[in-house]
Structure formats: C-alpha cells, structure tokens
Amino acid sequence: MVLEGSDRELVAACQRGERDAFRALFETYKDKVYSIALRFSGDPAIAMDIAQDTFLKLFSSIRDFRGDASFETWVYRLVVNSCLDHKRRSWRLIPIADELLAVLQAPADCLGEILRGEMQQRVQSAVERLSPDLRMVIVLRYTEGLSYDEIAEVLGCSPGTVASRLNRAHKALERRLSYLVNQKGGGHA
Amino acid sequence: MPEWLELELAHQLSPAAAPEDLWERIQGGRPPARRPLPRWPIAAILTLMVAAATLWLAAKGQEPALSLEQLALQQLHHTAPLDLLSSDPAQIAAWTRRHADVPLTIPAGTPVRLAGVRVIRNGGVRITAVDYTAGSDAATLLVARTGPPDGTSHGRMSWRSGGLTYALACSNPDHPEAACLLCHASL
C-alpha cells in the first residue's frame, strides 16, 4: 500500500498523480518542514507560509525529482530555499516592536506562559539575529540533527564551510547568551 | 563550544509539530498570505521625517529673500562691532570676498560714507553686513549666498541676482530708498 511504502514508492506514486501518496508524503515530512521554517523564522504564522510554499513547490515539481540525491535531502533543499526566499521578500520594520506588541496583546492568562517561555524566546531571538546563512546551519544542526556532511549536501557547500559557519554562529550565540548562564548560576537547568 | 550552549540550542530549537490546518491550506492552494505591514511604524517614521525636515528648514533659514529684510532692520538697530573698519569700497569688497566668499562690488564713487563690514550667521548661513551712512541716515546692506545663479528678481528693499540675495535697511522710515545711494548715486 502506498501509505506504508518507502520514500521511493511514495515519490513514484506522487509522480503518477496518486492523491493518497501526496497526503502520505505530507504526513511524512510536515513536521520536518514546519520545524525548520519555525526555528528559522521564529514566527508561527511565517512558518505556516513557508511550509505551505514548500509543499506547493514540492507537489508541483515532484515529477522533476530524478533521485540523484535522497528525497529527504531534496525536501530539505526546498524548505531551505523557501526560508531564504521569504527572508529576502519580507522586511520586518521593527522586530523589537513586534515582540513588544506580541507581549502587550497577549491575554492575561497567557502571561505566565510567556514568562515560562522567556528562555526559549531569548535563544530564538539570538538565533534570529544571526545572518540567514549562519542561522540555517544552526537550525539544520539542532532542529534536524543533521551531520556536517548532510548539511553540506543540503546547502550545496563543503563540510568545511559548514564547520566554519557553525563555529561563527556558536561564537556569536555564546556572546549573546552567556549572561543566561550567570543568571542561572552557571549551568543548564 | 561550551556544553551549556549545545544543550540550550538542542533544547530550545527542538522540532515542532506542524499545525493541523496546514494540509487544508495546501489543498486550498492559495499563495501564502502576506502579513500586512504594521501601519503605525510607517506613520511614525513619516511624522518624524516631516518634523525633521521642518526643523532643518527652519534652522537653515530656508528663504533668506523673505527674512533678510527683517534681519537687515535688526542689524541696523542692534549694531554689532564691525569686523573691518574701512571707508574704502575696494578694501571692503576684497575683505568680503575673502571672508564671506561674496563677490560684492561697491562703486568707487559711491556718495555714501562707508563705516565697515562684518560677517554674521543666521540659520547656518554666512551673511555679509555693510554699514554706512547715506546723508544723515544710517543704513545696512546684507548680502547672502543663497544658491546657484538662477535669475534675477527685485523687490523694494531686497533682491536676488547671480545667486546672491541682497537686503537693505535704512534708519529713515520715510525715505528708506536713501540706502540705495550705496550703488545708485543718481537716486
């Protein structure tokens, strides 16, 4: 049955235009695509836009997939390109003001949740301030757990470049987040 | 990289579950909805730009042709010390050219009695003030460089010519044209 098939069978079924196969493919990759979009953009609404854009591209161009790379790598490339395209198109006027508005507009019963999520916001905010190239390697590394070689294949660069970008990203994040360690007493909670 | 950072990143950037309605949006096939830009920052930026432009124009003294006459009257009544005491038209012209970059020409045979010249600043613009006496009336000529030479216009006590704006003030309110004797001996 298509729904239980491997990627290859699913892709072949999609290429034949089988409707169930599209749904199965979506179910297989929806969390990966959405997670990358969310961690890259830091905004659920934008992540939905990126995920939708990615799947529309995936479904419309799946006939072009030749199997030169793994299908998963191909999906990663699509979502990475959608993220970077969205970043190029969008212009957030005042990101800090956006964040402030989000807090002010939150209902009172959400404030506790906001406080609990403060740490995540700070980390996400520090990640958002990275350049798109550095941010993407961080997301692929920590959200998807990809190896340097896998990240290099997705991004179309060398593993050395991935290592260099990760190193720069780590240094920037360490600089921006080191105060959290002091606040927490020197270790991870 | 410190261990705490590795742990923090792995924890905070962990995978997330896609919302339920993602499939419906994809089936709808509509292009990703664009988030409308918030309007208040645009309005705030425009307001700031207008305010800044207004202040800049005010500080610059945007229309010397209109205010220079008033400034000339002010200078006439609140005489500041002269930078150069001289009754020689050529010397005044040379000093003015050197210190204010204004090519002022005063006829050698002017019937007025020159007192001297000074440079004042108004709204960031350097203005040359020539003090003199026409008959028994004190007078002041102000000259300011206002832009490229874009034509000539003439008012009663102020005029433009060759990229310069001129204004006269005379202590005799009944016969202010006496100040014109500086250059027009036949008046």
**What local confidence, expressed as pLDDT, does residue B35 receive?**
58
| Structure confidence by residue, pLDDT tens digits, B131-151 | 999 888 889 999 888 765 555
What residue of A is the nearest CA neighbor of B31? A53
At B168, which helix (H) or strand (E)? strand B164-170
pLDDT per position as a tens digit, A20-38: 888 999 999 999 999 999 9
Whether residue B32 and residue A49 make contact (CB cut-off 8 A), yes or no, is yes
Residue with tokens 């609140």: B78
- Most A CBs within 10 A among B7, B22, B30, B48, hence the mutation to make, goes to B22
A142 and A74, same domain (yes or no): no
Rounded to the nearest angstrom, the minimum Cα separation between A107 and chain B is 20
Please tell me the distance from the alpha carbon of residue A95 to that of residue A92, in angstroms, as a whole number: 6
CATH number of the domain bearing residue A186:
1.10.10.10
Same domain, A77 and A149: no
Of A86-100, A146-160, B28-42, B129-143, the poorest mean pLDDT is in A86-100
Domain that holds residue A154: 130-189
Interface mutation target, options A14, A38, A184, chain B, most CBs of B under 10 Å: A38
Calculate what percentage of chain B has a pLDDT beyond 70.
83
Domains: count for chain B: 1
DSSP state of B142: E
Which residues make beta-bridge pairs with A172?
none
pLDDT of A2 strictly over 80: no
Chain B residues closer than 8 Å to A101 by CB: 38
Q: Is the pLDDT of residue A95 over 60?
A: no
Task: Closest CB to A170: pick one of B1, B31, B41.
Answer: B1
- Residue A107 within any structural domain of the chain: no
- What is the domain extent for residue B79? 64-182
pLDDT in the model for residue B64: 47
Looking at the predicted structure, is the pLDDT value of residue A186 above 70?
Answer: no
Mode of pairing for the β-strands spanning B125-134 and B158-161: unpaired
Q: Does A20 touch chain B (CB under 8 A)?
A: no
Band of residue A172 on the pLDDT scale cut at 50, 70, 90: very high
Inside any domain, residue A143:
yes
Instruction: List, as one string, the DSSP characters of A161-189.
Output: HHHHHHHHHHHHHHHHHHHHHHHHTSS--
Residue B183 has pLDDT above 80, yes or no: yes
Position B165 in a domain: yes
Identify whether B16 is part of a domain.
Answer: no
Could you say which DSSP state residue A68 is in?
S
Query: How many interface pairs between A and B have CB atoms less than 8 angstroms apart?
Result: 100
pLDDT at B76 over 90: no
Share of chain B above pLDDT 90, in %: 9
B42: exposed, middle or buried (Cβ count in 10 Å: 0-12, 13-18, 19+):
exposed
A7 with A82, same domain: the answer is: yes
A115 band by pLDDT with thresholds 50, 70 and 90: very low
How many domains is chain A built from?
2
Of residues B127, B138, B130, the one with CA closest to residue B91 = B130
Is residue B10 assigned to a domain?
no
Average pLDDT over residues B95-116: 87
Please check whether residues A1 and A50 belong to one and the same domain. yes
Of A23, A59, A123, which has the smallest distance from its Cβ to B9's Cβ? A123
A34, B17: Cβ pair inside 8 Å? Answer: yes
Q: State residue A135's pLDDT score.
A: 94
Kindly tell me the burial class for residue A125, based on how many C-beta atoms sit within 10 Å of its own C-beta (0-12, 13-18, 19 or more). Answer: middle
Of the spans A62-71, B29-38, B87-96, B161-170, which averages the highest pLDDT?
A: B87-96
- Mean of pLDDT values over B151-173: 79
CA of B38 vs chain A CAs: smallest distance (Å): 8
The residues on B that touch A, with CB distances below 8 Å, are 1-5, 7-19, 22-23, 25-26, 29, 31-33, 35, 37-38, 41-42
- A-chain CB neighbours of B29 within 8 Å are 56
Quick one: average pLDDT of A126-150?
A: 93
pLDDT at A160 over 60: yes
| Contact (Cβ atoms closer than 8 angstroms) between residue B137 and residue B178 | yes
Which of A26, A39, A55 lies at the smallest CB-CB distance from B13?
Answer: A39
Asked if residue A119 belongs to a domain, the reply is: no
Summary mean pLDDT of chain B: 81
In a domain, A28, yes or no: yes
Residue B78 lies in a domain: yes
Q: Which of A24-28, A89-93, A159-163 has the highest mean pLDDT?
A: A159-163
CATH number assigned to the domain comprising residue A25 = 1.10.1740.10
Q: Do A14 and A61 fall into the same domain?
A: yes
Q: How far is CA A95 from the centre of its chain?
A: 19
A94 CA: distance to closest CA in chain B (Å)? 8
B52 to chain A, closest Cα gap in Å? 20
> Among residues A75, A91, A107, which one ends one of the domains?
A91
